[in-house]
Structure 1
Amino acid sequence: MSDRSFLDWPFFDDRHRDLAASLEAWCDRHLPVDHGDADAACRGLVAALGAGGWLAHTGAGAGERLDIRTLCLIRETLARHDGLADFAFAMQGLGMGAVSLFGTEAQRGWLARTRAGTAIAGFALTEPGAGSDVAQTATTARREGTDWVLEGEKTYISNGGIADLYVVIARTGEGEGAKGLSAFLMPAEAPGLSVAERIEVMAPHPLARLRLDCVRLGEGARIGAAGQGFKVAMTVLDHFRPTVGAAALGFARRALDEALARVARVRPGGGRLADHQIVQGHLADMALKIDAAALLVYRAAWAKDGGAARISREAAMAKLYATEAAQEVIDMAVQLHGGDGVRTGVAVEGLYREIRALRIYEGASDVQRMVIARGLA
């Protein structure tokens, strides 16, 4: 088992330590799963995570708050066991984050299903011409009577094609740029919504480009106030960016575990790789990066749980450092495996493919650097 001494840090309460132990036991029984059919695997994982009670942590009822330390612990643990399980869990939270934080009582009715694992959520933010710069969103939502009519395209949408509902950010025109956006809750069966393209990526996940062709939604579809879509999206990301760092942390811990096992086992010339000083230096660097990432991730989560109104800088630091450090840790684990490190089916080869996307989604690394720099002014 990976080093769990970090659970004794003052960031955590006994309930977090109990949860981590329970989830570890659950993962040992249920993970990993077969990734051959990513759609089917994700559907099965959502159902299993719901039945296990883990998805209950992905949404908050009226008057409740999301516990970010819990979300981070769950993502770290799931990622260490199975990257697709982490993805399935994370998207139930990110997809319904806007509803948890800003939704009406009627919209919150969906939370019972997504938390039980009987409905799959998606967050439709990215567009072909608006990735990291949400202010450039081109998808529109116009009023027709009491309805909203949405037109445009969204791309690289996680759970695209298998989700039962999506939160969509669209331009409603209350102002220019970021001031003219609103958020909407869109069921997958809404007429005019179609999957224009399924997107294949290096670590298989359900992703799609969605086309919105005069999608008609009722009056109650808007989440939050008109013109507050940018605030809704950024608040959701503020809550969930530390959890991306936590997922990277889980990948990095697994990579270190695999590397430790490898260097203890391989005996070139009669000695262990682990006995070579240069290898020991690499292992020390890996452990150092992991602990530094964990400190940043759980500091951000602890600050938010402690009542901080915004943790934009802390979340950006956690996401940036943890994902970049995990890439380096995993790369070294591959190197220490030699030729086996690039063989399909070897754990570190899968981790190498899994980690790359985390440096891009929910704000690429250079975007996080800009957020941090603005926070220094």
Structure 2
Amino acid sequence: MRSSTTHLTLPFFDDVHRDLGHRLADWMPQQHVDESDDRRACREWVSLLGDQGWLRYCVPAGKEGTLGGALDKLDSRALVILRETLAFHSPLADFAFAMQGLGSGAITLAGTPAQQAAYLPAVARGEKIAAFALSEPDAGSDAGAMSTSATALEAGWALNGCKTWISNGGIADFYVTFAKTDPDAGTRGITAFIVDASTKGLDSSEHIAVMAPHPLATLKFVHCQLAGAAQLGTLHGGFKLAMQTLDIFRASVAGAALGMARRALAEAVSFAKERKMFGQTLADFQLTQAKLGDMAALVDAAALLTYRAAWMRDHHNEQGERVGSPAGTTAEAEGRRDRTVAAAMAKMTATENAQRVIDMALQMHGGLGVKVGTKVESLYRDIRSLRIYEGATEVQQLIIGKAVLQS
């Protein structure tokens, strides 16, 4: 089944995005990866996506192309198109792609030239698997409550603590890790570090099994010694860096949800046309037509919010101000807020709508819908985590609501 590309004609996209979308839609149906072992499959997807150049959209090109990216900077619309198409065919392929971007995103934003050169080209080629380590057992949405600490040493840092729900945990080559460097300063006392998987004192062996299998683990740091060069970004600037990274990729989460919703709708339409009932097809019943109409509207509503959010981010410069607005102005602050709210709306609406669409598709399949191995059954499991990770729906509601009150 080939994913649709009709949405690429919308004015949100440029020719470079349309070309990308068409090429990926042609390529993806030809790929066949055995996903029975999620860790092995994730490694295989990273290698495959790297070999074919798709991971080049996870990093910027850099000066004279030295960082390996396909475009001059991270492009939200490209990320959305890639994740939507990948998720339509394989949510695990989408996961593998997304984590290469999220896991290296902070290095793109704040890495020194040496750090960027050491990690980003290898990420783009699929030679290094990236991970983003922020969450802890008692610090999920409340990042300021983290207890993992980084203590200054004469020649670097000592990292102690625990991170959990870490995507790519146990298979990553490096972890962008956030730790308290000032335990009494809340979010203002967090600093980011690059921790190679081979670093002594890091244990990533505690794997976490979830309803839609993909690599997750708990990380334990026991006097994990890092060189001073492992610090990423400014001292105590880690929380802002983490939020900036998540903000870039939030619209792409909406893209992934959109891809899963489109696949569920396509499966429902195909099944309705073929399923015979009472001398006619399921598609002949008005109730079925009404359900499909509802599903299509939910998909398109999510799509418009998703593409708008990506377009808005791409039309702001790196400082987050509106194009043409001087830095430090009210227009700059309003532009940054508008962009964040648009991403929150897209993430919330796309994931919630996708859950509804997939549920309706499963219901339409009847007993087959809950049979392990059917596409709608796996989509039902795959979509659920998207309403939680990278900012739960409730967090997006708070971001939107607070902005409405300030307007």
Same fold per superposition (TM over 0.5): yes
Alignment of 1:88 with 2:102, yes or no, is: no
Query: Which of 226, 229, 235 pairs up with 1:226?
Result: 235
**Cross-structure match for 1:356:** 384
**Cross-structure match for 1:11:** 12
**Cross-structure match for 2:348:** 320
**Cross-structure match for 2:315:** 306
Q: Contact 2:190/2:237 (CA < 8 Å) preserved in 1?
A: yes
C-alpha distance in 2, partners of 1:62/1:176?
A: 35
**What displacement does 1:174 show?**
7.8
Query: Which of 111, 114, 119 pairs up with 1:103?
Result: 111
Q: Deviations over 1:199-248 (max 9, x none)?
A: 00001000000000011111111111111101100000110010000000
- Partner SS for 2:239: helix
C-alpha distance in 2, partners of 1:3/1:37?
A: 29
Gaps of 5+ in 1: none
**What displacement does 1:375 show?**
1.6
**Cross-structure match for 1:272:** 281
Letter in 2 for 1:149: A
Query: Which of 70, 77, 84 pairs up with 1:69?
Result: 77
Letter in 1 for 2:7: F
**Cross-structure match for 1:237:** 246
Alignment of 1:191 with 2:200, yes or no, is: yes
Gaps of 5+ in 2: 64-71, 321-335
Q: Deviations over 1:326-357 (max 9, x none)?
A: 00000000000000000000000000000000
**What displacement does 1:154 show?**
0.2
**What displacement does 1:146 show?**
2.7
C-alpha distance in 1, partners of 2:8/2:49?
A: 22
**Cross-structure match for 2:166:** 157
C-alpha distance in 2, partners of 1:338/1:186?
A: 48
Query: Which of 124, 138, 143 pairs up with 1:134?
Result: 143
**Cross-structure match for 1:166:** 175
- Partner SS for 1:142: strand
C-alpha distance in 2, partners of 1:188/1:216?
A: 12
- Partner SS for 2:222: strand
**What displacement does 1:186 show?**
0.5
**Cross-structure match for 2:67:** none
C-alpha distance in 2, partners of 1:94/1:284?
A: 35
- Taking the TM superposition and a 5 Å limit, the aligned residue runs for 1:49-64 are 49-62=49-62, 64=72
**What displacement does 1:3 show?**
3.8
Larger RCO of the pair (alpha carbons < 8 Å, separation 6+): 1
**Cross-structure match for 2:22:** 21
C-alpha distance in 1, partners of 2:185/2:253?
A: 30
Q: Contact 2:3/2:85 (CA < 8 Å) preserved in 1?
A: no
TM-score, length-scaled by structure 1: 0.98
**Cross-structure match for 2:48:** 48
**What displacement does 1:152 show?**
0.3
Q: Contact 1:153/1:209 (CA < 8 Å) preserved in 2?
A: yes
**What displacement does 1:195 show?**
1.9
TM-score, length-scaled by structure 2: 0.91
Letter in 1 for 2:373: G
**Cross-structure match for 1:368:** 396
C-alpha distance in 2, partners of 1:120/1:295?
A: 32
Letter in 2 for 1:294: A
- Partner SS for 2:137: coil
**What displacement does 1:62 show?**
4.3
C-alpha distance in 1, partners of 2:161/2:109?
A: 25
Q: Contact 1:61/1:108 (CA < 8 Å) preserved in 2?
A: no
Q: Contact 2:5/2:21 (CA < 8 Å) preserved in 1?
A: no
Letter in 2 for 1:106: A
Q: Deviations over 1:38-88 (max 9, x none)?
A: 111011100000000000010124474200100010000000000100000
Q: Contact 2:264/2:379 (CA < 8 Å) preserved in 1?
A: yes
C-alpha distance in 1, partners of 2:61/2:157?
A: 26
- Partner SS for 1:216: strand
Higher alpha-carbon deviation: 174-183 or 85-94: 174-183
Query: Which of 92, 112, 130 pairs up with 1:121?
Result: 130
C-alpha distance in 2, partners of 1:149/1:26?
A: 45
Q: Contact 2:170/2:205 (CA < 8 Å) preserved in 1?
A: no
C-alpha distance in 1, partners of 2:60/2:191?
A: 21
Q: Contact 1:60/1:101 (CA < 8 Å) preserved in 2?
A: no
Q: Deviations over 1:120-160 (max 9, x none)?
A: 00000100000011111111011001301110000000000
Q: How many residues in Structure 1 have an aligned counterpart in Structure 2? A: 376
Query: Which of 250, 254, 271 pairs up with 1:262?
Result: 271
RMSD: 1.2
